[in-house]
């Protein structure tokens, strides 16, 4: 069976550490969507490592790591990331499989991303400019290059045909960029990727399920960035929800068992788009400073705010979440009081649903419940018995509001700082 872990907010929930911790109990960890805009931060032998493309189970020798067809793979990023792993003493080449159907990002995808974002001017989405959106557009437009094409004798013609199409589009944007340096790195990276096992992943995974192997599907970004159900158009270009596991790996919905949703104890967001609980004051700055809320991929400062239970209930509903992991509880240690958004208000009326349109967020205001802070160093806690009453109240109230149990909390960046929770 397959268990799933993904973010319930706008990404950056700390999924990488959770997957890394859980991975020791699984035979396979699988990435099913997204591209190098994901940044999963892990600590290995006290060294910080950020994974963008390689699954987070890479640190366990018994764990196979697979990249599914729902991913758009940047060969340059993949090669650099692998070299970083080599530098810390990990060589997992025999433990990485990539789907033949995985689409790849080519240098002109990044140029198109920059051109498109520049064209939007003040209406910019907040793209990471990694070429992910244009790569997914080529997929749905049936123009994409897939890894199986890289193994074909006629690969250069396939590549040049797509590059020429992109050049025409760039002319329409009146956008010029020299791609020769990137192209050189791209072809070096393509040669590097050819050393890996490129397989019919859907057959491999279904065979492993028949053999009773345990699989963990690792999501990137978060539910509120889903291309269909997120705060469109300020979203990513793939389906970040549980359903994306099936289409992104080639497995049946019947094979999914537990669905773990990861949420911070507060909210953050990078880039543009609605954020009802955003704090544009000293409290927001305090969360950002203590939580070191800067993007793992871009370095951009994250927008910070109180936890949003309307959005969290929505995310749990969409995905059939069975268990919730709450991260970064230690970041709230220094707050005397805490706010939790239980509903929205608009023109005096209560709103309990996430809007379908960004325009519907106009004049929408969060309605807060006030709670006492725990005002103690939670990073030293080892088990639930150490929790002060205020922390127990915070956890209990959230799980009651969302209707899903919180199974564990993270109280620091290290692998061992994850505490099982059982509060009825």
- Catalytic positions: 12, 40
- Pairing between β-strand 64-67 and β-strand 197-199 as defined by DSSP bridges: unpaired
The closest of 75, 61, 73 to 32, measured between CA atoms, is 73
The closest of 354, 358, 329 to 343, measured between CA atoms, is 354
CB 268, CB 302: distance < 8 Å: yes
d(CA 148, CA 205): 18
CA 77, 81, 84, 86 torsion-angle sign:
negative
d(CA 57, CA 415): 13
| Complete DSSP assignment for 129-154 | -SSHHHHHHHHHTT---BHHHHTSTT
Q: Please report, for residues 259, 327, 342, 404, the alpha-carbon distance to residue 400 in angstroms, rounded to integers and kept in the order given.
A: 18, 18, 11, 7
| Complete DSSP assignment for 186-237 | HHHHHHHHTTSEEE-HHHHHHHHHHTT--EEEEEEEEGGG-TTTSSTTSS-S
Residue 4 is classified by DSSP as: E
- Pairing between β-strand 47-51 and β-strand 72-73 as defined by DSSP bridges: unpaired
d(CA 223, CA 317): 11
Phi and psi angles of residue 254, each rounded to the nearest 5 degrees, phi first: -65, -15
């Amino acid at each position: 069976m397959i268990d799933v872990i993904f973010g319930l907010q706008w990404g950056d929930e700390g999924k990488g550490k959770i997957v890394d911790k859980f991975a020791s109990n699984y035979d396979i960890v699988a990435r099913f969507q997204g591209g190098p805009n994901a940044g999963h931060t892990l600590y290995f032998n006290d060294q910080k490592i950020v994974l963008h493309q390689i699954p987070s189970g890479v640190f366990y020798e018994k764990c196979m790591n697979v990249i599914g067809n729902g991913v758009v793979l940047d060969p340059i990023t993949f090669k650099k990331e692998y070299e970083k792993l080599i530098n810390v003493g990990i060589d997992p080449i025999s433990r990485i499989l990539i789907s033949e159907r995985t689409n790849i990002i080519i240098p002109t995808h990044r140029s198109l991303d920059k051109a498109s974002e520049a064209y939007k001017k003040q209406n910019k989405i907040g793209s990471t400019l990694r070429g992910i959106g244009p790569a997914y557009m080529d997929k749905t437009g049936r123009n994409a290059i897939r890894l199986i094409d890289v193994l074909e004798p006629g690969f250069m013609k396939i590549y040049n045909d797509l590059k020429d199409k992109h050049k025409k589009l760039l002319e329409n944007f009146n956008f010029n960029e020299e791609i020769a340096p990137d192209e050189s790195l791209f072809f070096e990276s393509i040669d590097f990727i050819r050393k890996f096992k490129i397989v019919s992943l859907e057959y491999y995974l279904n065979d492993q399920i028949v053999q009773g192997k345990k699989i963990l599907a690792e999501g990137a970004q978060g539910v509120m960035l889903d291309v269909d159900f997120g705060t469109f158009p300020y979203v990513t270009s793939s389906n970040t929800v549980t359903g994306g596991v099936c289409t992104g790996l080639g497995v049946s919905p019947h094979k999914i068992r537990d669905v773990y949703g990861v949420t911070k104890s507060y909210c953050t967001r990078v880039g543009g788009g609605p954020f009802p609980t955003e704090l544009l004051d000293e409290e927001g700055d305090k969360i950002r400073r203590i939580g070191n809320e800067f993007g793992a991929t871009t370095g951009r400062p994250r927008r910070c705010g109180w936890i949003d239970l309307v959005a969290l209930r929505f995310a749990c509903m969409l995905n059939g979440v069975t268990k919730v992991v709450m991260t970064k509880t230690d970041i709230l240690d220094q707050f005397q009081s805490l706010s939790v958004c239980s509903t929205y208000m608009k023109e005096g009326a209560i709103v309990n649903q996430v809007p379908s349109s960004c325009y519907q967020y106009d004049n929408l205001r969060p309605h807060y419940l006030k709670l006492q802070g725990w005002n103690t160093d939670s990073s030293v806690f080892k088990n639930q018995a150490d929790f002060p009453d205020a922390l127990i109240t915070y956890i209990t109230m959230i799980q009651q509001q969302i209707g899903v149990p919180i199974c564990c909390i993270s109280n620091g960046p290290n692998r061992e700082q994850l505490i099982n929770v059982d509060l009825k």
